Amino acid sequence: MMRELIVAGTFALLAGLLPAGLALAPKAGTPVAVIASPWAEPGDAMRIVAAADGRILRATHSGGVAIATSDSNDFVARLYQSGAALVVDGATLAGCLAAISPNPFFAEGTRI
């Protein structure tokens, strides 16, 4: 009985996480959202983008999340190497942040 519950629970968890993971996966050639770790200093997401030679399109007021782009094919890998905690599809996350606050971003078109 317990084994069946564990199998069913694992299946339900994976069935719920798989679509979310696919929706949030960064797509080549599109802006990405760079998320710094929760214990990072203010502005760390912007510093991570700069270290990966990216261009910041927008950033949250605290600088913990930045929407960025780059012409490089290995941009996502360089973001992780520079210290990003998570890199997801920028359009998806920007839509979520806009739903939470009417003005979540303070910098539009900023270059670092």
The 10s digit of each residue's pLDDT in 34-66 is 989 888 888 899 999 999 999 998 888 777 888
Q: How far apart are CA 91 and CA 9, in angstroms?
A: 31
Say if pTM beats, i.e. exceeds, 0.75. no
Residue-level pLDDT at 90: 81
Domain boundaries, the chain: 26-108
Other C-beta atoms lying within 10 Å of the C-beta of residue 100: 7
Comparison of pLDDT for 40 and 106, the residue scoring more: 40
Query: Which tokens go with 8?
Result: 């069913």
Closest to 56 measured CA to CA, from 40, 36, 37, 81 = 36
Higher local confidence (pLDDT), 69 or 96? 69
